[in-house]
C-alpha cells in the first residue's frame, strides 16, 4: 500500500505544490515586475540612444568610480566578517551556555539596524566621542581620532552590522558537522589544527562560499552608513548614493535604473564567481555514515 | 607511540557525568582490567552500562574522573587521543565524507608523515585485507553500510596500532551482513594478532569473538572471564540474565542435600548449585532454556510437571513455554512437535540449576 501511494505521488501532480502559488505571485509582483520595469526604464534615457545611460555612467568620472569605491568597502568588510567569524564559530562548535549567551548578544546588532548603529558610532567614535575622550584622559593617544565621516567609519559599521550575520550563519554550518568525524581524526593522529584543516575546512568550504556571497551582497548595497558615517561627497560615495542622487536629486529615474542595473550586475558577477569556486569542493552530506 | 605492548592496565578507572538535576553519577565506576598482547576483549552489557564510556576513556576521547591507564610502564590517560595511537572503529563508521576510500584509509599514515608512495602501498594492503580492492577511488557515500564499516576497519588497522578499539561496529548492519562482518573481524584479528577491545550489547558477538568477556552493569564490572566461564558459570544473576538464562524465578529454600541446595517448586523439589552465599529463606534460580529436557515420567530428580502453553517454531528446534502447576512459566528449547495444552514432564540436571541470593530492591 505504502509503496503504491508513494509511486502515484511521484508520478502524478502533488496538490501541496499549489501552496507555493501565493509566494510565487508575491515574488512576481514585488520583485520580478519592478526589476523588469527598471530594466526597461534604464534603456529609455531622457535623451540620446537606448544605451545613453550606460554610456553616460561609464564615461562620467562622477559615476563609474563608485563601483570601485563600493567594492573597496564591501570586499574588505565581507572578508573581515567571514574570516573573523570562522575561527570563533569553530571554537564554539560544542554546545555550551556561553554559546547561547553570545548568540543572543549577537542577534542584537542585526535587529537594531544600520541607522541606530550609525548613531551609536557617531557618539562613540566621533572626535569628541567616548573613545577619543577615554584615550586622551588615559594619555594613551593625544592626537585627533578620525573614525567617522570617512572610509573607516563606514567599514567599522559594515563589520558591526555584518559580523553577527556571518557568525550565526557559519556557526550553523560548523555545528552541522558530525563531531564524531573530528574524534575519528584525533584517534588517527590529527591534532586540533589538523582536524580543522583536513576535516572541518573542506566540509565547511561550500558554506563559507555561501556565507561570503550573502555577506557581500549585504555590504555592497551599503547606503545609510555610507551617508551617515562616511564622506558621501568623496571617499565613500558608493554606487547606491549615485543611484539615489540620480533618482531624487536630478529626478532622472532612467539613469537611476541604469545605475541600479549595473549595481546588480556587479553583485551577480562576484556571487557567480564565488559560487563557481564551490565546484572545486566536496558538496555532499557532512555526516560520517549512518546516524 | 608504540607498535606493540605487553599489558594495557586500567586501574580503578572512573568517569563521572553530571546527571539530571545536577546529580553526578558514575558512568564508569572503578574499572580495573588488564589487557594482554594480542588479546580480544569484549565489553558486554546493556545500553547505559558504561561500556562505551570505558572505550572512550581508553581512546582518550573522554577524560577520566579517577584512576589511571598504563600501557606497559607508560601512563597514557593524560595523553590526548592523537598521541595514544590506538585505532578506533566507530558505530556510525565516522568516515570522512569528502575523502575517497583511499584517502580515508591513508589519513592516519598521512598524519604520521609517512611518505606518499608508502601510504599508497599500505592502503592497498589494508584494503585487500578487508576485501575492498578496486573501491579505493569511491567516496564513502557510494558504498554500502557493510563496505563503509570495512573501510573504517581498514582505516583503523592500517596505522598498525598496538590496540584496536571497536565501538559496536556491527550494530548498524543487517543480520546477514553482521554475521559476515563478524567473521571478517575474527579473521583480521587472527591475521594481525593485535589486541582488540570490542564493545557490544550482543552476547552472541561477545561469545563468538572474544578471548575474554567483561560483563558490565551500571558502570560496574560484573564478571571478567572466558566466554565458556561467563556462559556456563555466570558470577551473578545479572550476568546470568544477560547470558541467556531466560528462566529466572524466586523459590523458597527447603534445605541442603549432598552439597546441593534444595528448593520447593510447587509440589516437587528442585536441586541446584549454589553460586553465591544465600541469605534468608528464598533464593533466585536461573536456568537456560537449552538446558531443560523433556522427561518420560515424573519419577526422577528435578522433574517438574507442567502444561504446554505456547510454541514458537524456530527451525531446528522450538521454543516451548511450559506452565507448571503453581503457575510458573518455563521457557524450554526442544525439538519435536508440541501441542498447546498437552501435559509434559520437564527435567533439568541439578548442576545446571544455578542458585543465587535474592536481589536487593
Using pLDDT thresholds of 50, 70 and 90, give the confidence band for residue A284. confident
Q: What is the pLDDT of residues A188-197, one digit of tens each?
A: 999 999 999 9
CA distance A284 to chain B (A): 7
Question: What is the predicted pLDDT for the residue at B327?
Answer: 83
**Residue A57, domain extent:** 29-280
Using pLDDT thresholds of 50, 70 and 90, give the confidence band for residue A289. low
Q: Provide the H-helix boundaries in A28-64.
A: 33-42, 52-59
Contact B239, B223 (CB under 8 A): yes
B285-317: string of b/e by CB count within 10 Å (b at 16+)? bbbbbebbebbeeeeeebbbbbebeebeeeeee
Contact A288 B94 (CB under 8 A): yes
Structural domain contains residue B110: yes
Tell me which of B196, B225, B240 is where a domain ends. Answer: B240
Contact B8, B35 (CB under 8 A): yes
Contacts of A186 in chain B (CB under 8 A): 60-61, 80-82
Structural domain contains residue A204: yes
Residue B163, pLDDT above cutoff 80: yes
Q: Which of A178, A190, A282 sits opposite B111 (nearest CB)?
A: A190
Using pLDDT thresholds of 50, 70 and 90, give the confidence band for residue A131. confident
User: What angle (nearest 5°) sits at the alpha carbon of residue B126, between those of residues B124 and B127?
Assistant: 65
Average pLDDT (B264-268) is 80
Question: What is the predicted pLDDT for the residue at B87?
Answer: 93
Contact B97 A282 (CB under 8 A): yes
Mutate to test the interface with B, among A173, A187, A197, A207 (most CBs of B within 10 A): A187
Residue B139, domain CATH: 3.40.50.300
Q: Are B232 and B254 in the same domain?
A: no
Residue B325, pLDDT above cutoff 90: no
Q: Are B227 and B265 in the same domain?
A: no
Give DSSP secondary structure letters for A205-269.
HHHHHHHHHHHHHHHHT--HHHHHTS-TTTTT--HHHHHHHHHHTS--HHHHHHHHHHHHHHHHH
Q: Which of A185, A187, A281 sits opposite B87 (nearest CB)?
A: A187
Q: Which of B82, B85, B98 sits opposite A191 (nearest CB)?
A: B82
Contacts of B119 in chain A (CB under 8 A): none
Structural domain contains residue B213: yes
Q: Are B102 and B175 in the same domain?
A: yes
Average pLDDT (B323-337) is 86
Question: What is the predicted pLDDT for the residue at A68?
Answer: 93
Closest alpha carbon to A51 in A35, A249, A59, A70? A59
Contact B155 A288 (CB under 8 A): no
- Backbone phi, psi, residue B298, to 5°: -85, -5
Q: What percent of chain A has pLDDT over 70?
A: 95
Q: What percent of chain A has pLDDT over 90?
A: 52
Between β-strands B354-357 and B268-274, what pairing exists: parallel, antiparallel or unpaired? Answer: parallel
Contact B59 A198 (CB under 8 A): no
How far apart (Å, rounded) are the C-alpha atoms in residues B356 and B361? 15
Average pLDDT (B333-352) is 88
Residue B253, domain CATH: 2.40.50.140
Residue B291, pLDDT above cutoff 50: yes
**Residue B100, domain extent:** 7-240
Q: Which residues of B touch A (CB under 8 A)?
A: 59-61, 80-82, 84-88, 90, 92-98, 107-108, 111-112, 139-141, 145, 148, 152, 155-156, 159, 165, 172
Q: Are B224 and B106 in the same domain?
A: yes
Given phi > 0 = left and psi -120 to 50 = alpha, else beta, which region is A42?
A: alpha
Structural domain contains residue A10: no
Its pTM stands at 0.82
Q: What is the pLDDT of residues A59-95, one digit of tens each?
A: 998 899 999 999 999 999 999 999 999 999 998 888 8
Residue A2, pLDDT above cutoff 70: no
Q: What percent of chain B has pLDDT over 70?
A: 99
Contacts of B138 in chain A (CB under 8 A): none
Q: Are B272 and B193 in the same domain?
A: no
Structural domain contains residue B57: yes
Contacts of B53 in chain A (CB under 8 A): none
Question: What is the predicted pLDDT for the residue at B1?
Answer: 47
Q: Are B56 and B194 in the same domain?
A: yes
Q: Which residues of A touch B (CB under 8 A)?
A: 178, 180-181, 183-191, 194, 198-199, 202-203, 281-282, 284-291
Contact B97 A288 (CB under 8 A): yes
Q: Are B64 and B162 in the same domain?
A: yes
Question: What is the predicted pLDDT for the residue at A177?
Answer: 92
Structural domain contains residue A253: yes
Residue A66, domain CATH: 1.10.3720.10
Question: What is the predicted pLDDT for the residue at A10?
Answer: 56
Q: Are B189 and B272 in the same domain?
A: no
Residue A1, pLDDT above cutoff 50: no
Contact B143, B150 (CB under 8 A): no
Among A29-33, A231-235, B161-165, B184-188, the least confident range: A231-235
Tally the domains of chain B: 2
Structural domain contains residue A8: no
Contact A184 B112 (CB under 8 A): no
Contact B151, B130 (CB under 8 A): yes
Tell me which of B225, B240, B255 is where a domain ends. Answer: B240
Structural domain contains residue B43: yes
Using pLDDT thresholds of 50, 70 and 90, give the confidence band for residue B339. confident
Q: Are B65 and B210 in the same domain?
A: yes
Residue-averaged pLDDT of chain A: 87
Structural domain contains residue B311: yes
Q: Are B223 and B252 in the same domain?
A: no
- Backbone phi, psi, residue B79, to 5°: -85, 145
CA distance B66 to chain A (A): 22
Mutate to test the interface with A, among B92, B152, B154 (most CBs of A within 10 A): B92
Average pLDDT (B57-71) is 94
Q: Which of A180, A187, A188 sits opposite B92 (nearest CB)?
A: A180
Cα dihedral B317/B322/B328/B330 (nearest 10)? -10
Contact B98, A203 (CB under 8 A): yes
Question: What is the predicted pLDDT for the residue at A119?
Answer: 87
Contact A188 B155 (CB under 8 A): yes
Average pLDDT (A250-260) is 93
Average pLDDT (B258-275) is 86
Structural domain contains residue A4: no
Average pLDDT (B296-309) is 82
Structural domain contains residue B2: no
Structural domain contains residue A198: yes
Q: Which of B60, B85, B93 sits opposite A290 (nearest CB)?
A: B93
CA distance B94 to chain A (A): 4
Q: Are B47 and B127 in the same domain?
A: yes
Tell me which of B240, B269, B287 is where a domain ends. Answer: B240
Q: Are B96 and B223 in the same domain?
A: yes
Contact A188 B145 (CB under 8 A): no
Contact B252, B282 (CB under 8 A): yes
Question: What is the predicted pLDDT for the residue at B125?
Answer: 92
Which ipTM did the prediction report? Answer: 0.83
Question: What is the predicted pLDDT for the residue at B280?
Answer: 77
Residue A120 is placed in which grid cell?
A: 551609536
Tally the domains of chain A: 1
Q: Is A291 helix (H, G, I), strand (E, B) or coil?
A: coil
Structural domain contains residue B1: no
Average pLDDT (B164-181) is 89
Q: What is the pLDDT of residues A142-195, one digit of tens each?
A: 777 778 888 998 999 999 889 999 999 999 999 999 999 999 999 999 999 999
Structural domain contains residue B155: yes
A140 or A36, which is more confident: A36
Question: What is the predicted pLDDT for the residue at B161?
Answer: 92
Q: What percent of chain B has pLDDT over 90?
A: 60
Cα nearest neighbour of A178 on chain B? B94
Amino acid at each position: 500500500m505504502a509503496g503504491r501511494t508513494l509511486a502515484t505521488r511521484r508520478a502524478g501532480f502533488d496538490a501541496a505544490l499549489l501552496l507555493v502559488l501565493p509566494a510565487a505571485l508575491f515574488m512576481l509582483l514585488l520583485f520580478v515586475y519592478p526589476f523588469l520595469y527598471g530594466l526597461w526604464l534604464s534603456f529609455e534615457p531622457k535623451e540620446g540612444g537606448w544605451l545613453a545611460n550606460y554610456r553616460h555612467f561609464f564615461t562620467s568620472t562622477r559615476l563609474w568610480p563608485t563601483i570601485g569605491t563600493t567594492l573597496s568597502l564591501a570586499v574588505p568588510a565581507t572578508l573581515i566578517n567571514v574570516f573573523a567569524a570562522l575561527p570563533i564559530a569553530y571554537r564554539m562548535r560544542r554546545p555550551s551556555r556561553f554559546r547561547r549567551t553570545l548568540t543572543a548578544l549577537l542577534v542584537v546588532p542585526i535587529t537594531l539596524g544600520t541607522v541606530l548603529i550609525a548613531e551609536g558610532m557617531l557618539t562613540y567614535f566621533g572626535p569628541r566621542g567616548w573613545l577619543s575622550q577615554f584615550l586622551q584622559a588615559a594619555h594613551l593617544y593625544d592626537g585627533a581620532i578620525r573614525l567617522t565621516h570617512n572610509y573607516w567609519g563606514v567599514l567599522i559599521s559594515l563589520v558591526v552590522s555584518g559580523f553577527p550575520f556571518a557568525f550565526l550563519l557559519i556557526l550553523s554550518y560548523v555545528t552541522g558537522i558530525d563531531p564524531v568525524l573530528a574524534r575519528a581524526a584525533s584517534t588517527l593522529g590529527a591534532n586540533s589544527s589538523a582536524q580543522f584543516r583536513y576535516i572541518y575546512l573542506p566540509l565547511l568550504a561550500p558554506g563559507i562560499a555561501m556565507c561570503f556571497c550573502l555577506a557581500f551582497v549585504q555590504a555592497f548595497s551599503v547606503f545609510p552608513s555610507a551617508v551617515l558615517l562616511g564622506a558621501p561627497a568623496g571617499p565613500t560615495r558608493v554606487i547606491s548614493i549615485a543611484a539615489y542622487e540620480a533618482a531624487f536629486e536630478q529626478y532622472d529615474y532612467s539613469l537611476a535604473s541604469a545605475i541600479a542595473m549595473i549595481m546588480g550586475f556587479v553583485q551577480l558577477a562576484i556571487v557567480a564567481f564565488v559560487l563557481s569556486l564551490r565546484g572545486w569542493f566536496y558538496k555532499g552530506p557532512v555526516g560520517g555514515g549512518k546516524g | 607511540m608504540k607498535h606493540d605492548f605487553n599489558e594495557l592496565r586500567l586501574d580503578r578507572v572512573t568517569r563521572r557525568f553530571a546527571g539530571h538535576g545536577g546529580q553526578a553519577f558514575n558512568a564508569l565506576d572503578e574499572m580495573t582490567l588488564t589487557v594482554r598482547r594480542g588479546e580480544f576483549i569484549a565489553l558486554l552489557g546493556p545500553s547505559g552500562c558504561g561500556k562505551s564510556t570505558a572505550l572512550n576513556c581508553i581512546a582518550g576521547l573522554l577524560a577520566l574522573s579517577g584512576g589511571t591507564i598504563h600501557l606497559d610502564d607508560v601512563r597514557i590517560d593524560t595523553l590526548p587521543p592523537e598521541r595514544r595511537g590506538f585505532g578506533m572503529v566507530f558505530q556510525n563508521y565516522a568516515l570522512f565524507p569528502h575523502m575517497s576510500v583511499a584517502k580515508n584509509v591513508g589519513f592516519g599514515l598521512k598524519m604520521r608523515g609517512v611518505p606518499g608512495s608508502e601510504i599508497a602501498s599500505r592502503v592497498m594492503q589494508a584494503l585487500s585485507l578487508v576485501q575492498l580492492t578496486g573501491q579505493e577511488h569511491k567516496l564513502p557515500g557510494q558504498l554500502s553500510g557493510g563496505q563503509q564499516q570495512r573501510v573504517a576497519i581498514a582505516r583503523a588497522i592500517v596505522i598498525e596500532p598496538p590496540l584496536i578499539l571497536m565501538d559496536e561496529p556491527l550494530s548498524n548492519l543487517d543480520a546477514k551482513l553482521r554475521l559476515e562482518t563478524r567473521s571478517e573481524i575474527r579473521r583480521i584479528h587472527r591475521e594481525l594478532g593485535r589486541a582488540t577491545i570490542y564493545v557490544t550489547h550482543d552476547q552472541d558477538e561477545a561469545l563468538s569473538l572474544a578471548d575474554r568477556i567483561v560483563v558490565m552493569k551500571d558502570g560496574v564490572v560484573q564478571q571478567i572471564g572466558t566466554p565458556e566461564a561467563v556462559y556456563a558459570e555466570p558470577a551473578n544473576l545479572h550476568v546470568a540474565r544477560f547470558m541467556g538464562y531466560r528462566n529466572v524465578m524466586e523459590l523458597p529454600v527447603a534445605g541442603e542435600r549432598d552439597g546441593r541446595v534444595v528448593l520447593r517448586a510447587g509440589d516437587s523439589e528442585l536441586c541446584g548449585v549454589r553460586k553465591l552465599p544465600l541469605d534468608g529463606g528464598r533464593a533466585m534460580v536461573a536456568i537456560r532454556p537449552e538446558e531443560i529436557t523433556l522427561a518420560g515420567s515424573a519419577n526422577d530428580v528435578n522433574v517438574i510437571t507442567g502444561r504446554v502453553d505456547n510454541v514458537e517454531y524456530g527451525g531446528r528446534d522450538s521454543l516451548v513455554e511450559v506452565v507448571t502447576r503453581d503457575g510458573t512459566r518455563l521457557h524450554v528449547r526442544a525439538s519435536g512437535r508440541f501441542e498447546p495444552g498437552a501435559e509434559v514432564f520437564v527435567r533439568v540436571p541439578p548442576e545446571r540449576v544455578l542458585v543465587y541470593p535474592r536481589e536487593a530492591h
